[in-house]
Structure 1
Amino acid sequence: MLAAAATAAGFLVLAGSPVPMVRNFGILLVAGIVIALVVALTFGVAVQALAERRAPRRFAGLGALGSEVGAAWRGAGEIITGSRAWCALVRGSGRAARATLRGALARPALTLALAAMLAVAGWALDPVTRVESDIQRLVPQDLRALSDLQDLQRVSGVGGEVTVLVEGANLTDPKVVTWMTGYQRRILRELRYSEKAGCGRSDLCPAFSLPDLFTTKASLSSRERVEGLLDAVPVYFSQNVIAPDRRTAALSFGLRLMPLERQLQVLDTMERRLDPPAGVRARLAGLPVLAAQANDRIASPWRRLFTMLIGLLLVAAVLLAALRSLRRTLLPLIPIVLATGWAALAVFVTRIPLNPLSVMLSALVIAIATEFSVLLSERYRAERDAGNAPDEALRRTYRSTGRAVAASGATAIAGFAVLTVSDIRMLRDFGIVTVLDLVVALVGVLIVLPAVLVMAEGAARAPRALRRRPATAPGSRLPSP
């Protein structure tokens, strides 16, 4: 129950994401934990109770089928466990586990120091990890819609459109139209557009806008001339650039296909150059603005750090409320904190780019590492309460709960590994990063938690030893060294 609650708290931080897709993913994960816990406490207990009954009469008719299935299962097990690869894997994992425990017992401070150094390196390198935001690379390359969009840009020079929405009570004032014309000219020149070269090398291109209706100085000589010209233009033609009440106008630009971080730079340049006349408001609008700003919020390293801290605080709050002991809360929390740095370092070293899905995976690392760490630390505490020495308690913990944790981690890794064969790059990269993070979290917790527990034992024994030491009588001499 405690591990499930703490794991759900780690996933709950995703519910605060500004992206509905990530937010719904977090809610779905929390709901999945609740459902899994309910099923385990009801159906799982019932299945175990039925399995422990010997020769139940109502299942007597299924005895032959059960024996056949059991024989087939045993045969499959013999084939798998008898293979060289399986034996090598078992021997290798056993040696690694024993070496890990020996290292934790012999040099816990060194183990924890190395783990902390790797985590700090991961946190330091996380802000420079690349986030892939080019939609053309994240979708399947054989998608018909993608090829059509690329054909559109090849023919027209643009793949989308962004609009400067101009609002005011006097938009037919020649000064306002003149400002719109001047802004259009300046921003196009700054972003390397020229009429000779066209849209070939420019990030921004002109599109049909209100200033295009006024091509001569005479048309802007007075407000009456402006309104008269607008009255002469058919409604189906003018409604694309100015509202019928003439209080809202559109200044449109064509936008090339580009990564969202570059698109945000272009939009920021456009916004900085906005300097409308008094009484007029101007702002950027359109789907490109929404996509670029959402990507900026997701890909921000500071937001990733904030998400990680909130997740850790939620987990700590749940553990503290359940355990009511600061020491018991901190012990499993140390490997969880370090696991976030290890995962970031692994992603940086492998050069796998993050994407709008995988950029929030710190919450997944926290949640999975929480489950592993809480189960192992609480089992170790139970073994110590049973009177076992620290080294024996660790061995018993890893022989029992450690195997269950390893099996749970392996199944979770196998489940997410299915995504690595997806033809959608965003899902494929998400699967790769998830598998990598889960492997790092599992291995890291299994290695570091013993060192944390051993060091905590030493720290707890020191004050007790000082309290048991007899005080020196007044006037007596201290023993010479």
Structure 2
Amino acid sequence: MKNKKFGNHAQKSLYRTVTKMVPAVLTALIATALGFIALYTSPVPMIQDFGKMLTAGMIISFIVGVLILIPILFTRDKFFSNKQSVSHTKKVKKVSKFETLLGQFTKRLVSLRWLIILLAFFTAGFGIWVDLDAGAETDVESFMPQDLQALDDIHELRDVLGTTEKVSILYEGENILSHKSLSWVESTSQEIKNEFGEIVVESNSITEVLKQLNEGEVPAQAKIEEQIKTIPNQQLKLLVNESETKGVITVGIKHLEAEPLKSFIKNLNQYLKDNQPENMKTTVTGKAVLDVEMVTALTTGRYKMTLLGMVLVFFGLLAVYRHPIKAFIPLIPIIFIIGWSGAVMYLAGISYTPLTATLGALIIGIGTEFTILIMERYYEERESGNSSIDAVIIANQKIGKSIFASAITTMGGFSALLASDFVILSNFGMMTLINISLAFFSTIVVMPSILIIFDRFVKIKYIRTNER
């Protein structure tokens, strides 16, 4: 097919695009989608849906590019281009100033390749080390606009009542309205206040209502059934079920972030387990418990998702290239980006949020697209007979400009999040911009050195014997 003749310049461009560029972009698409699959493993449906929408958006973009954009460009060049300008471009090899600068820059980079790799390795290692102990912002109120009137109202209400958050203790037994059971409910309510006095503000249960009807004392067994009948049905349903086998102790607590709240719930469960009667079963539940589980699921396991994404991408590329080194090369800059991202967050004092905890998978998705495109062009030039140095310079010149444009447009889209009043969204937008910048930097600056160093491990067809 190398000697294939074309009727015009448009047909030649179409042929080269379909045979050279589309397969490279498809490989990058597959790798990116595999990286996003890690998001599907999150126990939180919101993160799963985020991964699905990212994957769907990429697939749609690829289809639109192949089936709509390429035909439009072909139609323009075939029917609406100026023949004189086409003839002129054949005679003059146009090299933009940007490409010239990239070529000179890349030539300097490869001469310092070992220094670049060492610096990248140590800085990324530092970032990963400090990121292992990075904190996570888990206070939901800190994610909201701080000048929101509703937030001020919550703070004012909390000052008046002492609490706006509650934890429910569900207790089950055969006869929860017996005097023995009610005595346990009363003593447990009081002991929880004493045991967790710095956190617990108040508690409410069926015994509090009965005490109001019985001069501040839990009534004797003979009076319990009679006084229960005097309690309004709507109020009674909040404390005891109709079959009288389940009851609730509502515990009002101070406002806590997720980690202290998680610790309190754990200690409360242990306390109830140690002081639970044989005929009673207790469970700590309520919205606060669900919030803790949700935030914990969002902010933990980020390295697990990232590693899973990288493993999936590696095996995906291994299936495509059938060469372990070629499958591993695009992932090396990604490891650096993950480390640098952690270092930036540490040095800037930025804590993880439920959204930024997903950045690992996003880095893999965006970064592998860049690195695969550079690598594909590099090996295309190598197979054409260029030396490793020349091949990497040409690859950076020709693909670097496209990657720069892609990075700028992607950053432009995510920069809209910076205008959000919600801190969680603006922080996510900021870290995404930083990570896209790091992905571009790693691809243009570090990837050439990686390609040169690993070149000897990849067998190339049609290599000149005197290339070095």
Pairwise same-fold verdict (TM > 0.5):
yes
Match of 1:277 in 2: 277
Counterpart Cα distance in 1 of 2:442 and 2:458 = 24
| TM-score normalised per structure 2 | 0.83
Q: Which of the residues 157, 160, 164 maps onto 1:159?
A: 164
State the alpha-carbon separation in 2 of the partners of residues 130 and 266 from structure 1: 19
Alignment map for 1:18-417 (pairs within 5 Å) = 18-55=43-80, 98-103=104-109, 105-192=110-197, 202-215=198-211, 219=218, 221-222=220-221, 224-275=222-273, 276-300=276-300, 303-417=301-415
Matched, 1:17 2:42: yes
1: CA distance, partners of 2:225 / 2:132? 53
TM-score normalised by L of structure 1: 0.81
1:131 to partner: Cα distance: 1.7
Retained in 2: the 8 A contact 1:312–1:337? no
Deviation at 1:207, TM superposition (A): 3.4
Code of the residue aligned with 2:111 in structure 1: it is A
1:435 paired residue number: 433
* Matching of residue 5 in structure 1 with residue 30 in structure 2: yes
- Residues 1:144 and 1:97: Cα distance change in structure 2 (over 3 Å): farther
- Greater shift after overlay, 452-461 or 271-280? 452-461
Matches of 2:46 and 2:458 in 1, distance apart?
Answer: 46
Distance 1:128 1:211, change over 3 A: same
Deviation at 1:151? 2.2
Q: Which SS does the other structure have where 2:272 is aligned? A: coil
Structure 1 spans left out of the alignment, 5+ residues:
57-86, 193-201, 462-481
Task: List per-residue Cα deviations over 1:74-106 (Å, max 9, x = no partner).
Answer: xxxxxxxxxxxxx9xx88x97687445423x22
Return the alpha-carbon distance in structure 2 between the equivalents of residues 211 and 20 of structure 1.
39
Partners of 1:164 and 1:251 within 8 A in 2: yes
TM-superposition CA deviations, 1:227-254 (whole Å, max 9, x none): 3432332322322111111111000011
8 A contact 2:325–2:458 mirrored in 1: no
Aligned partners of 1:159 and 1:255 also within 8 Å:
yes
1:169 match: secondary structure: coil
**Alpha-carbon distance between aligned partners in 2 of 1:187 and 1:445, rounded to the nearest angstrom:** 57
Q: Is contact 1:129-1:354 (8 Å) kept?
A: yes
- Gaps in structure 2 of 5+ consecutive residues: 1-25, 82-95, 460-468
Offset of residue 394 of structure 1: 0.8
CA deviations 1:158-205 (Å, max 9, x no partner) are: 11221111112221233322222222222212322xxxxxxxxx4322
Q: Distance in 1 between matches of 2:374 and 2:56?
A: 24
Local SS of the residue matching 1:206: strand
Aligned residues: 416
Counterpart code for 1:48: L
Q: What code does the residue aligned with 2:30 have?
A: A
Cα deviation per residue 1:319-362 (whole Å; 9 max; x = unaligned)?
Answer: 11111211210111211222211211122122222211111111
Partner of 1:77: none
Match of 1:469?
none
Structure 1 residue identity aligned to 2:394: R
CA distance in 1 between counterparts of 2:102 and 2:173 reads 72
Larger mean CA deviation between 255-264 and 395-404 belongs to 255-264
> CA deviation digits over 1:335-391, x for unaligned, max 9?
122221121112212222221111111110111111011111111011000000111
| Residue identity matched to 2:380 | A
What is the root-mean-square deviation in Å for CA atoms of aligned residues?
Answer: 2.4
Change (3 A) 1:55 1:457: closer
Residue in 2 aligned with 1:69?
none
**Separation in 2 of the partners of 1:94 and 1:208?**
75
Q: CA deviation at 1:442?
A: 1.7
The amino acid that maps onto 1:31 is A
